[in-house]
Amino acid sequence: MNALAATGSVLGSAGLALLYVAPRRDLRIAGLAAWAAGLGCLALYLLPDVTTTVLAAAAVAGLVVACVGGWALLRWPYLLAFATLACLPARIPVRLGSEDTNLLLPLYAVVGSLALALAWQLVVRRDGRSRELGPIALPLGAFIAWTGLALTWTAGLRDGAIFVGAFLLPFGLLAVGFARLPWRGRLLTWLWAGLIGSALVFATVGLYQWVTRDIFWNPGVIVGNAYAPFFRVNSIFWDPSIYGRYLTVGILTALAGILLGVARGWRLAGLYLVVVTMWFGLLLSYSQSSFVALSVGIVVASFVVWRWRAVVSAVALVVALAAVSAAVPSLRARAENKSRAGVNAITSGRANLVNQGIRIAFDHPVLGVGVGGFKRVYADRTGLQGRDPKKAASHTTPVTVAAEEGVIGLALFVWLLAVAAIATLSRLGFGFTSRVSLAVGVSLVAIAAHSLFYNAFFEDPLTWALLGLVGVVVTVPRKTAPALAPSAVALPDGEREERSEDDAGQRIDQVRDLEHPAEEEQQEDGGRESRSAEPEQAGPQLRSNEDGRHR
């Protein structure tokens, strides 16, 4: 069985990487087949302890749902994005052998539907698109291939198999699905509204929990609240930190409109009210990692728009906070405490995990201890007992990658983040395309910052959806323009970006042409053309539309 898991990991990861980077349709079909075969091997290895009858019934039901879902995705491609958004909170406790984990089971049905839809497009429709992920295709494919290979020498085979089979492979295909979405300003606006609206609903549920002192799902949070001097809420999510991360992304996507938008008056007030409401929801999660991620996202977004003025403001804020901290005796005493035990207590044990993780990385610099091996090696080094030592779970993604996949894996991870940031945050204007690009870029930056304290960068489907959207935004030209004043705000409709009344009608028509060009009504994805087809003809048209929005 160990060989089955290792074979499935290598085969599936190599197939997914081939699907990312291969230029030919036959190679992409082979990559998709390898992905499915590898995922099947890992599923056999991780089969839960249930009867054969139950497994057969689940397989048949899953196939029926995937077929229906695949047909729906072929007809309405953006259903993928809205279904993913709806499934993000739905983490269901599952026991895989001797391991308890929370899996996004409804989202796996969406991934299965996507796999069948993609297979139909490649085999039957002979879809010739390739490298939809754009500039991140190569670094992401290389990282996935290396991670799959790292399971062959891991010290924690089951943990590694769960990571590859339950997160890396299925969500990696999700990124391809998002990258293949056609550019539609109206639907992207509705997707933005869905994200903001759901975040507001979740924040309202969190406020209800705080008022009634009633926590859903997670007994660990219930017990923690019984002994803590504050009351944490998790809304409908399992973990308050994931709930906080979702609200952080919601706030930053709204901030992208505030920084690069053009509206005034009640629209401006409405977006600020939305941000404040989500911030209060975030406050009640008491997620320190989410607040750090939000701060990093705000600083990065401000720097992208305001350049050095943002740096000066950030430095002034840090100096002010440092002065306040020095003036408070308790904070000053904490800062002056240099003992390792003190730092470890302040960080809830994370400092020791990071310290040991760095030592593991230095002891295994090239290959690491294998994907999923951190927990087992850490337990052996520190003397933790038990088959599954919970206290040995890493909380810092870069340290985990360095310890498990060596300097090669860490370099590929940094390469991926750098390319994604450059692709989304450079050469922004003030049109709708730039607002979408800024929202995607700062959200990825915030999730990366959050993963410094909560090890769930690749385990979060939101990360993969954003990586897929990188491939969408880079295909639409955008005109570089001077940064706007910070009081400007985005209109909630992607079709309205005009800056004067005289030519508003003409520009709205131009944006509608971008959303509904004649060619897109006659080709694949239910009458939608490939963004990559005929680039020499599509480029001038897209450029004309983008220029019209920036006059």
Calculate the alpha carbon distances from 169 to 36, 78, 458 in Å. Answer: 9, 21, 10
Q: What per-residue confidence (pLDDT) applies to 238? A: 84
Q: What per-residue confidence (pLDDT) applies to 538? A: 40
Range 228-253 average pLDDT: 90
Q: What per-residue confidence (pLDDT) applies to 308? A: 65
For tokens 């979060």, what's the residue? 460
Residues 6+ apart with CB under 8 A from 198: 85, 86, 250
User: What percentage of the chain reaches a pLDDT higher than 90?
Assistant: 45
Which of 14-28, 197-211, 441-455, 465-479 is predicted least confidently? 465-479
Q: pLDDT by residue (tens digit) across 402-457?
A: 999 999 999 999 999 999 999 999 888 778 888 899 999 999 999 999 999 888 89
Higher pLDDT, 388 or 366: 366
328: pLDDT confidence band, cut at 50, 70 and 90?
A: very low
Q: What per-residue confidence (pLDDT) applies to 50? A: 67
Which of 14-28, 79-93, 271-285, 479-493 is predicted least confidently? 479-493
CB neighbours (10 Å) of residue 388? 15
User: How far is 207 from 232, CA to CA, in rounded Å?
Assistant: 10
Residues 6+ apart with CB under 8 A from 293: 245, 248, 446, 447, 449, 450
Provide the β-strand partners of residue 376. Answer: none
DSSP helix/strand/coil, 137: helix
Range 134-148 average pLDDT: 96
Higher pLDDT, 472 or 428: 472
Q: What is the mean pLDDT of the chain?
A: 79
Domain ranges of the chain: 2-131, 181-497, 504-550
Report how far Cα 514 is from the mean position of its chain's Cα atoms.
27
Q: What per-residue confidence (pLDDT) applies to 545? A: 43
Q: What per-residue confidence (pLDDT) applies to 314? A: 64
Q: pLDDT by residue (tens digit) across 171-225?
A: 999 999 999 999 998 999 999 999 999 999 999 999 999 999 888 878 888 888 8
Residues 6+ apart with CB under 8 A from 359: 381
542 neighbors 548 (Cβ within 8 angstroms): no
Range 349-367 average pLDDT: 82
Token duo for residue 228: 């803590």
Report how far Cα 437 is from the mean position of its chain's Cα atoms.
14
99: pLDDT confidence band, cut at 50, 70 and 90?
A: low
